[in-house]
Structure 1
């Protein structure tokens, strides 16, 4: 845990937060935000793409750590964030399943009776975790997990997934593996603000890395990924500690607010306030949809989030 000398961490618990919170619009999105405001607020945005991301946590020497990755470009997930990406059509393919049923997941994720949507969200989360981070939430039977996914054969499967040449169902089926949906926990639901050119309707899940596995980057596109102490990442919202740690041309000197989405920032704060990874995983959460709204404050575009 952080020492008494460390900067205070903002809590994500809504009973400790003001009813309205403001986030800076990242520099890479500022022109789009200004153009949106000029043509008038209230214009419907593009339809957000369903997406999933997985927040891995573990206990570090000074506090709870999470695995972050870097993605170049202007992703709605942010330049720095958690392994994740859009839901794909092949996430509907049948596969062996262990843990809560898609119907149970629909209730957990606040999707009502949309069982297909909930199933796709879970499969996409597991697929993205394997593709981007090399963590496979599956086993040969409902109570086991694959001990290692290292080596050339596993990497070829990850590359094929990234290209869309195979589905997660095919990867698991060839090895007679069962998807362990019980290893995931529902965490949060965020929808990208209307002004963004690309929008995601993203469900965040949380999990621990199975014994014997460790996150690794995809050989073809991976640039940076590592375990980061969540409290350190959000200790100074205007500081550049995280951007400097990533060390890329478009991250050095930049704040966490300029590098990540409001959803990622809030998840990091939620991790930082927990005393252990188990405490974070065990916390009961109501999955409420968060959709930051673009507006002008003090002459500049900001994202307003109503916690109520």
Structure 2
């Protein structure tokens, strides 16, 4: 990980925590529930080279946007994530926006009961959104689309540990890819995308073919217990903040969290060669 400040001047307590949204996209297959995964480009400021779900930080425009909304109200989301309504609203907007920007899946439709079947007509708008030359609210208004919050389900809340140079308070959502839509890798942030069952992804991690951060590993482990998308979407997990603790052990960085013994038992860990904290 790049380091533009010496360890002696770095103050981990001064690093701000930014809200973020991550969406676990799923679909049924003959092999079971599949999840959409991306490998972030090596050299990125955060999680470069890691295999992750689509997502990213909440943008100021997510807070200001006025959009037509279908599904559970902002108050419901605020209760689920234990945040204020303005923050909950921005988190949901960021989840839908980032999913569209990063993989072309758009959880919106012409009416509260429909969803876009083909997003290719919005290719130019997607490019402008990723470049921050168009706000998501303006895009939805221009295309007369309704944000489908009912296609999302809350899943988890992980906070980047103290000691990292970028910190996020990330809310995880689950969503089924709408019929007719296709998740792709047409983004500058990833160099590999694929659909896998949770167990296939975990097998790649155990063999060293991919690198998973603890939140991704944890959510894949949770998904592996479901046989169908219907079962997964019907689940109602209690979302409580998880704040791992970062420390050094035998010259390597260790991230402590509930269930970390299974994480460190096997697999490839992104901190083994780090020396910047």
TM-score (norm 1): 0.76
Change (3 A) 1:218 1:271: same
Change in Cα spacing, 1:100 to 1:56, as seen in structure 2 (3 Å) is: same
Alignment of 1:293 with 2:245, yes or no, is yes
Quick one: which of 228, 238, 244 aligns to 2:196?
228
Report the counterpart of residue 88 of structure 2 in structure 1.
Answer: 118
Distance 1:135 1:120 in 2: 18
Q: CA deviation at 1:236?
A: 6.4
1:196-222 per-residue CA deviation (whole Å, 9 max, x = no partner) reads 111111111000011111112225555
Q: 1:188 to 1:45 in 2, by over 3 A?
A: farther
Partner of 1:303: 255
Q: Is the 8 A contact 1:97 1:180 kept in 2?
A: yes
Secondary structure of the 1:224 match is strand
SS in 2 for 1:147: coil
Equivalent residue for 1:103? 75
- Residue 110 of structure 2 corresponds to 140
Distance 1:148 1:154, change over 3 A: same
C-alpha distance 60-45 of structure 1, shift in aligned 2 (>3 A) = farther
**Paired position in structure 1 for 2:123:** 155
Deviation of 1:235 after TM superposition, in Å, equals: 3.2
Instruction: State yes or no: 1:52 paired with 2:4.
Output: no
- Once residues 188 and 168 of structure 2 are traced to their aligned partners in structure 1, the CA distance between those partners, rounded to angstroms, is 24
1:85–1:234 Cα change, 3 Å: same
Instruction: Quickly say closer, same or farther: Cα 1:75–1:204, change in 2 above 3 A.
Output: farther
Q: Distance in 2 between matches of 1:158 and 1:266?
A: 30
* Matched-pair contact (CA < 8 Å) for 1:148–1:212: yes
| Alpha-carbon distance change, 144 to 88 in structure 1, aligned in 2, over 3 angstroms | same
Q: Distance in 2 between matches of 1:183 and 1:58?
A: 13
The 1:143/1:201 distance shift into structure 2, 3 A limit, reads same
The answer to whether structure 1 residue 90 and structure 2 residue 61 are counterparts is yes
- Corresponding residue for residue 159 of structure 2: 191
Answer yes or no: is 1:271 the counterpart of 2:223.
yes
Query: Cα distance 1:75–1:233, how it changes in 2: closer, same or farther (>3 A)?
Result: farther
SS of the residue aligned with 1:207?
strand
Q: What TM-score, normalized to structure 2? A: 0.84
Instruction: Spell out, residue by residue over 1:169-191, the C-alpha distance to the aligned partner (whole angstroms, 9 max, x if none).
Output: 11111111100001000011111
Unpaired runs of 5+ residues, structure 2, are 260-277
Give the count of matched residue pairs. Answer: 255
The RMSD of aligned alpha carbons is 2.4
